[in-house]
Structure 1
């Protein structure tokens, strides 16, 4: 499919023939998972996070209605679309399934063309919903995560770090003398410069769990789960160097002839009871310190980064 990941469909039916027929029907277009009872359906839904479940109503150990009820009660599974497939053809049976939250209801014996059409329709809805969710979490200018997304991820990672007694590092990056840059070169040039810095920040995030987000104006926020102060400080020092290496001319800066950035950070150490607000305030205080001590540098709470703060910019010989 031209490099696009195939959507996942879980077929849950206690009848082996039905599972095989539906599986073979769907395989050319989708990644197909199979389950033969209610318990297996819930287990595979949790493990594989399918986009859609074709769910038989009448199964011996746990009927489809109970499976759907449990799916909707689980925050990790409640979003999965469900199409009931059933031999029960009374209108009240169909209405019951739809009221419980099923996306559709197909009566057995099913028509293969109808099944494919309805599956395609509901998976298109899933794709569109996820696209809207992604757009709602992205900053339009930088294409980084936006502040709303950062707030969500920060709260989750802070809870995970506290619960698992793991380190969590947080940093704020601010472009030095950005107002003067906009005044000198104009706001369109400022937007281009901000996008370049954002790309450098995104490139510095090395693991899937690391997050770079636009916090507001020319300020970015960077979250590094399971990362101690020294390692985080080194990552951010490299980012400060990378921003200067962009060599974006900034003749109005009192720091360097190119655009530079300052970073302040703090680490939630394993076992610490520090609140997420206090951790953020500590990082913000370190950003202020980086700016007060010369800019174009990293200041990290309680960490020796093997340099006084950071190495100030110096032109290549």
Structure 2
């Protein structure tokens, strides 16, 4: 069953929230907030598909809320529709310049609200589908390198709010070039898809992400996962790949395809550079290779905040 779209309604007048909820609750999951600060906290917790945001509120007003939302990597792509009784073109332009996608005037028309919400949710779904294609590896169906960069930027920022733990796994198919040379690229592609499937079977939480990092290299992003659990997952991946029993006569370590795996775990802190997890996991991967391959190496580390720059896209 498809998940129903969720909408966050923000208004300091409870009666306005009740009216909008009555119009939309049949087809949507509704969250609400009665202040700007509560709106930002609720949006972070609920990750709604769309936000209906009152402009005039005491304290943090709608413009300030919209600015905060658009500056948050976790929420920047959530469409915002302002609801207002201002009837002021200058105010409308200001909201659109801040990143809102539409205005709905009060008192609301139920027909207009349903139509605009439906249209903007459909446009968001289409944008999300296109964005997903852009970050998906065509061969394996896993996320690609750009998706890894996005996930690390988002998760390190999100988990820094609570000093949450993030684990990253990087793995490499042992002697894969020899495999391609011996069996051909068609067999190589089939091997990659089978390893990708084994990777997906080993990772269970909805928030976990599996990636084809490049060539024969894969990665997993495991938010809120302690090191011992991440190591268990890594050993499970190695065992699942081994159980595929894909013949590999060119391997120096096994008669079948195997993988070497590096694991790195750290608590997230504000300003953490996402590359830190990739570098640490990559270093552990090379330790696993140096130890004879077909093995797992991992460690916990402490993030040193050198700068606050995000993991930049290479695409």
Shorter-chain TM-score tier: 0.7 to 0.9
In structure 2, stretches of 5+ residues that fail to align are 268-275, 300-315
Question: Following TM superposition, by how much is the alpha carbon of 1:237 offset from its aligned partner in structure 2, in angstroms?
Answer: 3.5
Match of 2:283 in 1: 282
Inter-partner Cα distance in structure 1 for 2:229 and 2:6? 38
Larger Rg: 1
Of 235, 244, 247, the match for 1:246: 244
Counterpart for residue 68 of structure 1: 66
State how far apart, in whole Å, the 2-side matches of 1:80 and 1:160 are: 16
- Paired with 1:24 and 1:122, the residues of 2 have a C-alpha distance of 19
**Paired residues for 1:39-188 under 5 Å:** 39-153=37-151, 170-188=168-186
Give runs of aligned pairs for residues 203-214 of structure 1, distance below 5 A.
203-208=201-206, 210-214=208-212
1:193 shift after superposition? 1.5
The answer to whether residue 28 in structure 2 is matched with residue 4 in structure 1 is: no
Moved more, 278-287 or 97-106: 278-287
Contact 1:169/1:265 (8 A) holds in 2: no
| Farther-moved stretch of structure 1 (156-165 vs 78-87) | 156-165
State TM-score, norm by structure 1. Answer: 0.74
Go from structure 1 to structure 2 and tell me whether the alpha carbon gap of 1:159 and 1:279 turns closer, same or farther (over 3 Å shift): farther
Say whether the 8 Å CA contact 1:42–1:67 is kept in structure 2: yes
Aligned to 1:219: 217
**1:232: Cα distance to partner?**
4.8
Higher RCO structure, 1 or 2 (CA under 8 Å, sep 6+) = 2
> Closer, same or farther in 2 for the Cα pair 1:253/1:57, shift >3 Å?
closer
Q: What is the TM-score of this pair, normalised by structure 2?
A: 0.75
Greater displacement, 164-173 / 138-147 = 164-173
User: How far apart, in 2, do the equivalents of 1:227 and 1:57 lie?
Assistant: 42
Shift of 1:29: 1.3
Correspondence for 2:297 among 293, 297, 300? 300
1:125-168 CA-to-partner distances (Å, cap 9, x unmatched) read: 22223333333332221222322333454577789999989886
Aligned alpha-carbon RMSD (Å): 3.8
Q: Output the CA distance in 1 between the equivalents of 2:156 and 2:58.
A: 43
Q: How many angstroms apart in 2 are the aligned matches of 1:149 and 1:266?
A: 19
Q: Which moved more, 1:18-27 or 1:161-170?
A: 161-170
Report the Cα offset of residue 74 of structure 1: 4.3
1:30 corresponds to? 28
Change (3 A) 1:162 1:298: farther
CA distance change for structure 1 residues 47 and 250 in 2, over 3 Å: closer, same or farther?
A: closer
Distance 1:129 1:227 in 2: 34
Q: Which runs of 5+ in 1 are unaligned?
A: 303-317
Residues 27, 174 of structure 1: alpha-carbon distance in 2 compared, 3 angstrom cutoff: same
Contact 1:263 1:298 in 2 (8 A): yes
Q: Is the 8 A contact 1:170 1:222 kept in 2?
A: yes
3-state SS, counterpart of residue 42 of structure 1: helix
Residues of 1 paired with 2:28 and 2:59: CA distance? 28
Render the CA deviation track for 1:91-138: whole Å, top value 9, x for unaligned.
Answer: 333323323322111223332222111111111222223333333332
C-alpha displacement of 1:195: 0.6
Q: CA deviation at 1:201?
A: 1.5
Q: Is the 8 A contact 2:289 2:295 kept in 1?
A: no
1: CA distance, partners of 2:173 / 2:195: 8
Partner of residue 265, structure 1: 262
